[in-house]
Amino acid sequence: MSYQYASAWQRLMANAIDGLILLLPMLLLSSLAFIDISVAVLATVIGYGLFWYYSYYFHGKYGATFGKHFMGIIVLDRQGNRFTYRTAFVRGLIDMLFAIVIGAVALQALFAMDFSHFQSLGFFAREAYHESFKPDYMNLIINLYGYWLLSEFLLMHSNKNRQAIADMMADTIVVVKQKSKVSAVA
């Protein structure tokens, strides 16, 4: 079967849509973090876990996140079939590792700060205060994640199947959904 591979633009827009979808629950979790240190820890763990689990669940169950569905693209295995949760796990492994590391550093900063002072601050001041306790190597981690995403984007342009590294790891392709052809019977 012949496929039209998804363009980098379609994939980028799908990720932007998914980011907007995740923004609301992330803001809600962040706004609850001032209640108590245990709520802040839970919000941090859930927030970073949600980032990865969203992609894992929807790719494993449907082959597409909401963003991909909206953009009319789907992830399939190289044979053109839906794939398993195991494949979705492999495909999202690097993102999961970054989420774990960044989440762990965020927790480290949370435990290092004066929580009663944190509680007394407004939303944006709380975020800035929390950021001030993150170690300098956090910038390195964020930059490495940015380089990872850039390498994914660049590699998509260098092969005929438009596969990113994660697609190669999981042996998947991202394609434009095939339109169903229904013929009228007269």
Q: What are the pLDDT digits (tens) for 20-45?
A: 999 999 888 888 877 888 888 998 89
Please report whether residue 38 resides in a domain: yes
Residue 36 in any domain: the answer is: yes
Residue 85 inside a domain? The answer is: yes
Instruction: Map residue 172 onto helix, strand or coil.
Output: strand
DSSP-derived 3-state class of residue 63: coil
Domain for residue 139, yes or no? yes
Closest CA to 86 of 174, 168, 170: 170
Residue 184 placed within a domain: no
Q: What are phi and psi of 65, to 5 degrees?
A: -80, 175
Is 51 within a domain? yes
Measuring CA to CA, how many Å separate 16 from each of 11, 39, 41? 9, 28, 27
Classify residue 185: in a domain, yes or no. no
Q: Is residue 1 part of a domain?
A: no
Print the domain residue range for 51.
Answer: 8-176
Q: Determine the 3-state secondary structure of 62 from DSSP.
A: helix
Q: What are phi and psi of 73, to 5 degrees?
A: -125, 160
pLDDT tens track for 154-167:
999 899 999 999 99
> What's the domain count of the chain?
1
| pLDDT of 186 above 50 | no
Taking each continuous run of H as one helix and of E as one strand, the counts in the chain are 9, 2
- Average of per-residue pLDDT values in the chain: 90
Mean pLDDT value across residues 41-56 = 90
